[in-house]
Every structure is written in C-alpha cells, then in structure tokens.
Structure 1
Amino acid sequence: MISSWRRRRAARRARKRHDEHDDNGGMTMQMDMETELMIPSHFRCPISLDLMKDPVTLSTGITYDRENIDKWIEAGNHTCPITSQSLKTLEPIPNHTIRKMIQDWCVDNVSLGIERIPTPRIPVSSFDVLQILSKLALAKQREDSEGFVELVVELKGLAKESERNRRCIVANGTGCVLSAMFEAFSERSFHKNIALLEEILSALTLMLPLDENAKFHLGSCVSLNCIVWILKHGGDLSGRRNAVLVLEESLSSSAADQQHKVDALVEIEGAMDALVKLIKEPICPTTTKASLTTIYYMLSSSSSSTSSSPTLVNEKVIIRFVEMGMVSLLLEMLVESERSICERALHVFDGLCSCDQGREKAYDHALTMPVLVKKILRVSDLATEFSVSILWKLGKNEKREEEGSVLVEALQVGAFQKLLLLLQVGCGEKTKEKASELLKLLNLHRDRLECIDSMDFKDLKRTF
C-alpha cells in the first residue's frame, strides 16, 4: 500500500510565488510539489494496513500492531487473523527487530515529514503479575511492611500505565489476593498498619469491579471495622474516597450476603455519621455517588415498593438517618445535581419516606413538592419512578386535611398534569398503578387553585 506525504513547505513556497511575473510582464507560475513514499509491506499491520507502532508476533509467527491484535483477541477471537490457526497463547511477543527497523526507516525519511515512532513500554504479563503476588505473600510472611507497600505501589503503577495492564492484573486474581491480605492485616493491630491498609484500598479502587471472593474478605467484620475507621480518620481526602468506594463495592453482593454485611456495618460505631458527613462535605461526585449507594444498601431491606411499613429492626436505621438531617440534605442536593447523583438521591429519599418520621420531615420541607414534581419526566425514567413512588407514599399516608396539605401543594405545582402526561407517554406497571392512585387522590382537591409551570414540558420527547 502506498501512503503519500505532501511536502507542505515546498507547496506553500510555490503558492507564494504564484503572483510573481517574469521580465516580459509574463505568466503566473504555480508549483504543487508532491512526494509519494512507499511503506515496506513488512512494516504494515496486516489488519489495519498502517505503519506498525508496536509490532508483536503471535504464536503462529505473524506480526501485527499490538493495538489491533489486542482488539481482535478482546472481541473473543482465539485464532490468527491471517492463518486462522488456533493460538497457543493469547499473549503476543514483542518483535524488537521489526520495531527497530521501522524506527530506522522513520529516521531515514525524516526529511519527508516522517516522525520516529517512540519505543513502546512492554505491557505487563501474567507471569509478571504472579511474580509480584508471590513477593507480596513472602513480604506478608516476613512482616516486611515497607517491602509490601513498595510492591503494592508497583502494582498500582502498572495498572495506571495502561488499560491492558489493568485487565491483566485483574485477570490474575490480584483483587482477591489484596482483599484477603487486607482482612488479614485488619485482624492484627490495624492502627500500626494503617498506611499499608490505605495503600491496599487505593490499589483495590483500580481493580473494580471485584469478584465475589474479594467482596467476601472485604465484607468481614474486621475488614468493615477497618474501612469505617479509615473513612472517619483517614489521613487525607483520597484515603476517605478509597474507603467509601471499596465499602460500596463490598456491599454489592447477593441479597443474603448483603443483608449480613449491612447488619454488621450498622453495628459499627460512627459508620452512619461518616457516610452522612461525605454527603454534607462532598469530596467529588464519585464519592458522593458511592456514599448514597451505600446508604441505600443500608435502607434497602427496610423499604418496599409495595409497602410503606418497614420492619421494626431496620426502622431504627431509617430514623437515625432522618435525625441526622438526610431529608434536608437530599432535597438541597436534588435542586441541582447530575443525573446519576439525582437518581441515587431519589432512591435514598424513597427509602427514608418508608417511615413516619421520614415522611414528617418531607411534609415540613418547602422544597419537597416542587422538587419531586420537577423531576418527573425531566431527568430519566428511573428518576421519574422514584419521584412518583415518593409522592405516592406522601399522598397516601398524609393525615392532614388543612389548606396547606401536601396534595394541595402538589396540585399547585402541576403534579396532576405531569402524572396525566406520564400515563400518556408510558411507564412501568408499578409506577402506572401509583400514578393512577395519586391522580384519584389529587382529583379530590381539584376545585382549589392550580398553578402549572409550562416550561416543565418544553424538552419532553413525545412518542407520538
């Protein structure tokens, strides 16, 4: 294949002279110089037909550019694209000879605008990862904390270097090994090993999502106690961030395992306060989302989509969060927040409204009705579902009949029209049932003043 490089400098000079005339008053001269350069066939990747930047050879003896052959293998292909032979190993070998020849060719043609390709860093292999894990095990046996930290830092550096390295590190069970070691060090006097434990958490955040074995180790009582301690007393913001990310991941298990871990987490002194503090004093959007998800896990067993009566045991968890001011925090957050945070905040709010105390706080807050109605059909289907669920719980359980009741306020901010439109556009079956029941409740108060903000509907995408 022939690739052409224009000698732009010569062409520009030629164009500058196009207005120049000869002595006879003569003719305008214009030059357009172009040089064609042939790329040697063995320098081109058989997949893309472009010049290879990081040539690697498969077990079949065919050389490809690493980026292209990696995509081929990641797509589930375990054969050579050219020969169709099965690959004995999925890890290609760097072809240094071809790479050096390509670099020399680039240097020889630098005058034609060819830039020398940089020498690529060799990606980590499974053998390299297993060697580091073996050294970690030895350092743990010798109680060599400094050596252990150095190895974890090395793993982090390799994972950050490229996505391919990160996948290789994860595929060789590093997450499970580090989680088991985190649990083991937590069983000892973790205050002496706090720097080491924080380094492990930092490394684990680069390997998310973790497998079930890793989550098992991180969800043990000793591990949870250590994570919460770091969450409360971490030396810097990054330590607290890593702690809540790993805590969220450890709770994302099956229902039975999650309930067991949540029960253990609730019993840890200061765990709930630390999570609420991350909402009050956010570090970054990722941390806020992790905190909201963790709080939802703590509420999930106590709230139900078909009932507004939580179990007696878990009702204490909801009440505790309500007493910490979560209802007010969530409403203020919902005024302006990105989609993913909005969905999580509404999910937590829905759980808090499963008990009388949570609903009372919602009734008393001026932002409740305007914010909830505003979110219907404005953020996402999930946000609409949660908003309707909260409105349903508030409207169904309200006992006040005075002029300022929640149903009247909902009418005034356009809830009736929003719910009618929701039924026309379409929604899930459970959301449809709640919206229909809400419309019946609201219809009883329709003789009172209504006020709609027509701007709520300007961006709505209709299906008709």
Structure 2
Amino acid sequence: MVLGWRRRSSTGHRAAAAKKKPSPGNLDMDQLVIPKHFLCPISLDLMKDPVTLSSGITYDRQSIDTWLEAGNFNCPVTNQVLRNFDMIPNHTLRTMIQDWSAQNQRYGIQRVPTPRIPIMAVEVSEILFSITASARRVDQNGCLECVQIIKKWAAEGDRNKRCIVENGAASVLASAFDAFASDGIKKNARVCEEILSALSWMMFPSLDEETQKYLGSHASLDCLVWFLKVDGDLLVKQNSILALKELLSNSNDQNKHAVEALAEIEGVNKILFGFIKEKSSMTITKSSLTVVFYLVSFSEKLRSAFLEMGLVSLLLETLLDSEKGVTERALYVLDCLCDCKEGREQAYANALTIPVLVKKILRVSDMATEYSISAVWKLCKNATRQEERVLVEALQVGAFQKLLVVLQVRCAGEYDTKDKPTELLKLLNPYRAGLECIESVDFKSIKRSF
C-alpha cells in the first residue's frame, strides 16, 4: 500500500513539474511588460486609437470621448482647460503599438487594428443633401447609395452615430421615406426598406416633431403597414412595428393624427392581433401590444374590432406564460379594455380573468401590480348582481391578502397605488366570510418598507 502511494506521489510530482515547465504555448500575460506610453492615462489599458489634445497629452479616443461627453472641459492629466476639443490622431504612436502587439502575439496580445477616422459633420451634411435631392427626383439608386453610406458609418461606432443624428439625419430619412412611399410602395419597396433600416436606431429615445410628421403621413403609414402584411424579412417587419410604436408613443398632435390615420387602414387590427398570437419575435410582440394600446385607447372603431376578434381571451392566454415586458404590456391593454362595457363583458365571461389578474399581483413588477389591481378594481366596481361572482372569485384566489400587502409595502408606480387597493378591499370585505384562500409563495420576495 505504501509503495503504491509512493508510486502515485512520484507520478504526481513529475506531472506537476511538467505542468510548471514553461513553453511557448502557455506564456503568461504576467510575464509581459507593456510600455507605459502605450497605456491610456484614463483607462490604463493599451490604446487602440491614440489621439492628442490641445494640452499635448495623448489618450485613447474612446476614453477621452467619454470624459468630454460627461461635461469635463479640462485635460485629465494636466487639469489644463482645453482651448478646443480637437483630437489629433497620433499615427506614430499607433504604429508603434501595432508593431509591439504583432511582436507579442504569443502572449495573447491581439494586433491593434487601424482605426477608422470618425466622420465629420460636413460629410454627413453632404450625404443628407444628396438623399434629399434623390428623394425629390425619386431616384432609387442615388438614394440607396447614400443610405448605405449612412449605415456603413453608423456601423463603425457610436461617435459616428451621434454625429449622424445631431446633423438631422432622422428627419431627412423620414422625408425621403414619405417621398418614395407616395410615389408607389411596391416599386419603391427596396429603397423604403433600406431607409427604414437606417432609421431604426435613430428613433430612440424619441422622434423629433419633423420626423413624426413625415412618418405619420398617410403614405408612410400605408407603407409601414404594407411591410407588416407582406411575407418577407422578419427584420423589416420588426423595423416597421418599432417605427409605429415610437410614432404613437409621443404625446402630441402628431400622435393623435397618426392614430386616426392608422385606424383607417384596412386590416391593421388583424395584423397586430396575429403578431401577438404568433409570438414570432419578442420585439414584435411587445411593440404590437404597445401599438394596440394606443389604438384601443383613441379609436372606438378599432377597439370594437379587436374585441370582436377575441382580444381579451388572447391577452389572458398571453399572460399565462410570458416574460416581464410582454406581461406588463398585455396587462396595460387589458386594463384599458376594462374601461368599456364590452371589454368588461368579455372579461366576466372568461374563467381565466380573475385568477390570472390576481396571480400577477406582486409576482412580476410594480407596474404589473398596478395594472392588475386597476383591472380587478374596474371589474369588481362595475359588476352587476349577476356578475358579483367575480368578487367571490377574487377572494377565493387570495386577492384580499395581496391587497393588504400592497398597501403595506406601497409599491411605487405611475398610478395611485393606495386608493384603488383600499376601495377594492371595501368592495371585497362583505363577501369574506369563509372564502379566503392565499398562496404564501407570493410574499416570499416582497421588499418590506421597514
């Protein structure tokens, strides 16, 4: 036994020694000393795009960009107030860093690529002028060429994206989209797709009024809905529904105009209903729910059409197994539908309504809790004698105890979380005797207020 142990021990020592023996394949980064002048004074990382400021100090472009965008007007090293914000590429230093990286690839150092020079405002202005001219002539090829240049610039970095947006690209592209859509959707489908693709990342956090005006025109809305209808690239559908969502999400006159115009387009309700039902893409599903909310909020005609299609049942089925974003939006729409008599009647008729709504209280998020309570409150408050069973059902699935917890922790949200729970408790109280039931699992993760 002892000999066997010694034999294994000896083998282990030999293996350990072999493991410790250095080889070109396992050289460690700790053995490598990076020259100090190759390191950015801000991030202390190897510079990939060294630029020199008016103070004479060189930084990595990304690091100094972040520093200046934070509102700092001085050089981080010298604390000297900068005369200007010009960044002069230090080509000599970059070449030295690239040569050093190539020589030390065996240490795992990747060769620093030659950075692309950021675009200037004048270049963006020239391209946008060409897009405007091409749209005026309805020149597909000319516009496509310019839009592809915009997309190529945007792919090169956030700095380029900011420069593109700051020079008014969104409104120019939206104007071109409107011009080509007005000339004919089918024959200009390709250029409209490209414009929409370029616009997709410019819509956040919000659209300016001029961009809204062009995207909200009848021709543009017809084109966006047409993209949703036809069998084609899922990304095109996603860009179209995102454009509609951002367009309707702005609370101004353009929003109301767009809702009214969209409501007049035949078949839009069927398309959105299908997107929610199919769940082909999380982005499309969430955006479709948001668009549906605005349509049922402002258009009685479309609200009735959606209800006839069975929107309440679809929303309840969606709520059974959905992630947070979809759940919140589905509850948002369901709460809105409970404002009208027809919506409440469908909710009363569905056996899932109260159990699902109560289940979502304190389970998903503060926002979901708000919408769930609001919907239950509307259903209980407006219940006729024949519909009073919803109050009993709410008690049976544990609504009373959950409402007490909501009042205790005072969930934060856009809506008033105190009045509706309190009034709902008063409505439920007369039916309490012998009917309460509660799932304790709902309270395990509650954040206490003390």
* Bin for the TM-score computed over the shorter chain: 0.7 to 0.9
Judge which range, 238-247 or 439-448, deviates more: 439-448
TM-score (norm 2): 0.87
* Equivalent residue for 2:270, pick from 267, 270, 273: 273
Shift of the 190–401 alpha-carbon distance from structure 1 to 2, 3 Å rule, reads closer
Unpaired segments ≥5 residues, structure 2: 1-12, 22-26
Please tell me whether the aligned partners of residues 138 and 179 of structure 2 are also in contact (alpha carbons under 8 angstroms): no
Partner residue, 1:291:
288
Question: Residue type matched to 1:175 in 2?
Answer: A
Alpha-carbon shift at residue 338 of structure 1 (Å)? 1.4
1:390-409 matches, within 5 Å, as 390-401=375-386, 405-409=389-393
Partner residue, 2:182:
187
Q: Distance in 1 between matches of 2:84 and 2:170?
A: 23
Alpha-carbon shift at residue 417 of structure 1 (Å)? 1.0
Count of equivalent residues: 429
Partner residue, 1:414:
398
Unpaired segments ≥5 residues, structure 1: 1-11, 21-31, 302-313
Partner residue, 1:100:
95
Match status 1:118 vs 2:113: yes
- How well do the aligned residues superpose, as a CA RMSD in angstroms? 2.9
Counterpart of 1:81 in 2: which secondary structure? coil
* Equivalent residue for 1:130, pick from 125, 129, 140: 125
* Equivalent residue for 1:73, pick from 56, 61, 68: 68
Please tell me whether the aligned partners of residues 297 and 303 of structure 2 are also in contact (alpha carbons under 8 angstroms): no
Counterpart of 2:339 in 1: which secondary structure? coil
Alpha-carbon shift at residue 345 of structure 1 (Å)? 0.8
Counterpart of 1:68 in 2: which secondary structure? helix
* Equivalent residue for 2:253, pick from 230, 252, 256: 256
Please tell me whether the aligned partners of residues 215 and 251 of structure 1 are also in contact (alpha carbons under 8 angstroms): no
Counterpart of 1:431 in 2: which secondary structure? coil
More helix by share: 2
Alpha-carbon shift at residue 410 of structure 1 (Å)? 0.7
Q: Distance in 2 between matches of 1:213 and 1:159?
A: 22
Deviations 1:169-205 (A, max 9, x none): 2222111110111112222222211111111111111
Alpha-carbon shift at residue 113 of structure 1 (Å)? 6.4
Please tell me whether the aligned partners of residues 200 and 242 of structure 2 are also in contact (alpha carbons under 8 angstroms): yes
Shift of the 412–97 alpha-carbon distance from structure 1 to 2, 3 Å rule, reads same
Q: Distance in 2 between matches of 1:86 and 1:174?
A: 32
Q: Distance in 1 between matches of 2:87 and 2:20?
A: 57
TM-score (norm 1): 0.84
Match status 1:224 vs 2:221: yes
1:291-370 matches, within 5 Å, as 291-301=288-298, 314-370=299-355
Judge which range, 377-386 or 274-283, deviates more: 274-283
Shift of the 398–344 alpha-carbon distance from structure 1 to 2, 3 Å rule, reads same
Please tell me whether the aligned partners of residues 173 and 199 of structure 2 are also in contact (alpha carbons under 8 angstroms): yes
Shift of the 109–323 alpha-carbon distance from structure 1 to 2, 3 Å rule, reads closer
Partner residue, 2:5:
none
Deviations 1:2-36 (A, max 9, x none): xxxxxxxxxx999727999xxxxxxxxxxx99997
Q: Distance in 2 between matches of 1:187 and 1:71?
A: 42
Shift of the 365–35 alpha-carbon distance from structure 1 to 2, 3 Å rule, reads closer
Q: Distance in 1 between matches of 2:133 and 2:418?
A: 59
State, as a whole percentage, how many aligned pairs show the same letter.
55
Q: Distance in 1 between matches of 2:31 and 2:397?
A: 69
Counterpart of 2:72 in 1: which secondary structure? coil
Partner residue, 2:429:
443
Please tell me whether the aligned partners of residues 408 and 448 of structure 1 are also in contact (alpha carbons under 8 angstroms): no
Shift of the 453–47 alpha-carbon distance from structure 1 to 2, 3 Å rule, reads closer
Partner residue, 1:160:
155
Question: Residue type matched to 1:277 in 2?
Answer: G
